[in-house]
Chains A and B, each alone.
Chain A
Amino acid sequence: MRAARTPRTRRAARAGQYTALLAYLLFLAFPLLWLLSTALKSPRELGSPHPAWIPRHPTLANVRQAFAEQPLAHAALNSLLVALATAVVTVLIATPLAYVMARHRTRAARAATGWVVVSQAFPFVLLIIPLFLVLKRLRLIDSPTGLVLVYVVWSLPFALWMLAGHVRAVPAELEEAAAVDGAGRLRTLASVTAPLLAPGIAATALFAFVTAWNEFFFALVLLKSPRRQTLPVVLTHFIGAEGVADLGPLAAAAFLATLPSLAFFALVQRRITSGLLTGAVKS
């Protein structure tokens, strides 16, 4: 009797698990699906007192209007360049620094770690005006290079903290074994440490990319010329006084703005997952 019930119970448990998983996925996807649904509705349908999940008369008019009214493609290109540059520069700076902080437990390394934590305590509204003045002196206002510089500085503390965890997760014994086999310091780093750090580097790059891709306020304040504005800044042009928004085109543009992040994440997600888990646990 017991043997006959077990598989059925197991099947029921599995079904329950999948149902719960599906519900959770729907919960997570809800904002995106609602955004898509809104983007495909006409103004009349958006004003309907009985909102429906699936648009009754789906239309791409909002997408067309969004592209016609604002330079979305150009802004997306600006965002992409800035986000990619931020990711690359952050990783280039953070990787060697994190290695030193993790491997050399000196007083200076501990002080640097403390400084990284302290630097996270300052709200950005406190920094924006001094930052603006410094960038102005460097002639980096209204320049994507200046914005990248800010984003790198902004991302670096967390990137360092994250990467240092990954470095610690790579057993030092592997590097010692390579040294015993005759590999020099650079060879060890390139052939042993770097491949094992790849998931952590990918996770850090993604973090820096998404931070820069989504960031609004620095971009708003530091970029003056319309042709240099990034996507989050251009999206606010669909919002008027007292928060009144042109909802359809805004939803269409916002939905399109989420796609590059999703695509990037989908591309590297396997590496990211293992990278995040590795960094999370200190052996």
Chain B
Amino acid sequence: MRTRITLALAVLLLLLAGCSPGGPADGGPVTLRFQSLAWQPDSVAATKELVREWNATHPDVKVEYVQGSWDSVHDQLLTSFEGGEAPDVIHDASDDLADFAYGGYLADLSGLLPARLASDIPRGSWETATFGRGVYGVPFLQEPRVLIADADRLRAAKVRIPTPGHPWSWPEFRQVARKLSGPGRYGVAWPLKEPVSATLNLSLSAGGRLFHRGADGKVTVRFEAGDEVVARTIHDQVAVDRSAPASTLGSGGADTLPGLFGGRYAMVPLGFSYRQQIVRQAPEGFHWQVLPAPAGADGLTQGVSPQTLSVSADCPHQKEAVAFIDFLLRPRNMVRLALGDWMLPTGTQALKDPALRTARHGWATGTALAARLRPAPAQSVRGYPEWKDKVATPAYQEYYSGASTLAELRHRLERDGNLVLARYQR
């Protein structure tokens, strides 16, 4: 027995030793570690395929694919940066970059970007990854919020079908939602697990800004008429018209899909990429369509936080890393990545691809919105995460559920919110 235990221990130690990393290879090609957050089967396949193509054509610069996860990327990157072990090429989202950029963890790409890539991506998109005077990421995929609608319900109610050229206004949207409601059925379901980003991004359509930067560079919160439109619409649909259920206010988007398929909700505002889930999960005979979100004084303008590719400040081969990013984001490759993730590319050339302009699965509707996408209002505001978690999220949740008034919402966002932001701007 004792011999067997000793033997088992020895085997375990040997196996663990066998797993230990070897030393760094001397000489040879440059190796870049690329941490990708692609997670849907198609997008993982597309990304890995592109890495293979790069490695096949660039023997001097080898790229190693590392799978990351959206679920924990911020903490994982922060620790890696602090420990000097960060990946060389980093996939993330623009609203997660501010702390890393200001903290000096990411390389400023402004002097490294090739002219083709710099001119292919519109200025509005570059702004999402610009912090101070530097550019700390290349925005490459983005998704507008759209209305996914039960086409049969809309047709039966004989409502006007909105298009990007002739969208619903917010009051018209409220009216349509009322018309689509009935006993046990709602015109719309708002999945607002993250109420702040959804509200702020949609509020750009009505001219809402919320964050105002003064001449001294300091940001203050002011809740003005433009900021009221979307918030009041959601509140009134839930608490006054009863055309939206209160039960989905704390739900994620995917949680509302069974209700959409079952006829409980006629429309659900969702990110553009949710179409993939709908295609996979919708029952036979369920007809759905993609509609643009309602428009306000600023038309169909929306805020987005695109996915980005950045380079670690510690990366000793930044030029090679940017060359790899440039390869990944060639128009044809950007289209492959966009199709894999069911999102829109930021590149103007990629957006012209016929595969992204087809009416099938609402691609054309999304593509038509691309020109109206702007940086999410809050993403360069220092202290935004704390403001969002401690002040704005509970304030919006209470207002939407009918537990507080618009005046109280304004008061909390401005008074409590400015106290939080002031701490970050001393």
Contact = CB atoms under 8 A, between A and B. Distances in A.
Interface string A72-92: 000000100110110010000
Interface string B66-80: 110111100110011
A240 B12 contact: no
B271 to A, nearest CB: 7
A256 interface: no
Contacts of B264: 49
B85 interface: yes
B19 A239 contact: no
Interface stretch (A11-19, A157-165, A198-206, A224-232): A224-232
Contacts of B93: 241
Contacts of B280: 43-44, 47
Nearest to B343: A241
Contact of A241 (B70, B72, B79, B277): B70
A217 B254 contact: no
A47 B12 contact: no
A239 B39 contact: yes
Given A49-B264, A220-B72, A221-B76, A144 B83 contact: no
Secondary structure at chain B's binding surface: helix, strand, loop or mixed? helix
B253 A244 contact: yes
B189 to A, nearest CB: 12
B188 interface: no
Given A49-B258, A217-B75, A238 B83 contact: no
A236 B253 CA distance: 19
A244 B16 contact: no
B94 to A, nearest CB: 12
Contacts of B263: 49
Interface in B29-75: 33, 37, 39-41, 44, 65-67, 69-72, 75
Interface in A243-277: 243-247
Name the residue among B70, B76, B93, B194 with the largest chain A CB count within 10 angstroms: B70
A237 interface: yes
Contacts of A125: 75
Contacts of B84: 136
Contact of B40 (A46, A129, A220, A240): A240
A239 B69 contact: yes
A229 B79 CA distance: 17
B20 interface: yes
B190 interface: no
A243 B71 CA distance: 7
B404 interface: no
B257 A47 contact: yes
B72 A48 contact: no
Contacts of B41: 65, 69, 246
A229 B67 CA distance: 10
Interface in B343-366: none
Q: Which residue of A220, A237, A241, A243 has the most chain B CB atoms within 10 A of its CB atom? A: A241
Interface in B224-257: 252-254, 257
A238 B16 CA distance: 27
B79 A221 contact: yes
A50 interface: yes
Contacts of A142: 21, 85
A207 interface: no
B80 A48 contact: no
B21 A143 contact: yes
B227 to A, nearest CB: 23
A132 interface: yes
Nearest to A50: B262
B62 to A, nearest CB: 14
Interface in A84-104: 84-85, 88
Contacts of A46: 281
Given A44-B283, A47-B283, A84-B12, A143 B20 contact: yes
Interface residues of A, number: 50
B44 A88 contact: no
B282 interface: yes
B258 A132 contact: no
A148 B12 CA distance: 12
Contacts of A129: 79, 82-83
B422 interface: no
A158 to B, nearest CB: 22
B157 interface: no
Contacts of A242: 70, 193-194, 252-253, 271
Contact of A244 (B12, B277, B283): B277
Nearest to A229: B67
Contacts of A106: none
A237 B252 contact: no
Contacts of B20: 143-145
A128 interface: yes
B76 A239 contact: no
B19 A143 contact: yes
Contacts of A224: 33, 66, 85
B9 interface: yes
Contacts of B72: 216-217, 220, 236
Contacts of B281: 43-44, 46-47
9 contacts: A47-B258, A81-B15, A85-B13, A88-B9, A128-B79, A136-B83, A220-B75, A238-B39, A246-B39
Given A142-B21, A237-B67, 12 more contacts: A43-B281, A44-B280, A44-B282, A47-B257, A48-B262, A49-B258, A49-B262, A145-B20, A226-B65, A241-B37, A242-B70, A242-B271
Interface of A: 43-44, 46-51, 65, 69, 78, 81-82, 84-85, 88, 125, 128-129, 132-133, 136, 141-145, 148, 216-217, 220-221, 224-226, 228-229, 233, 236-247
Interface of B: 9, 12-13, 15-17, 19-21, 33, 37, 39-41, 44, 65-67, 69-72, 75-76, 79-80, 82-85, 93, 193-194, 252-254, 257-259, 261-264, 271, 274, 277, 280-284
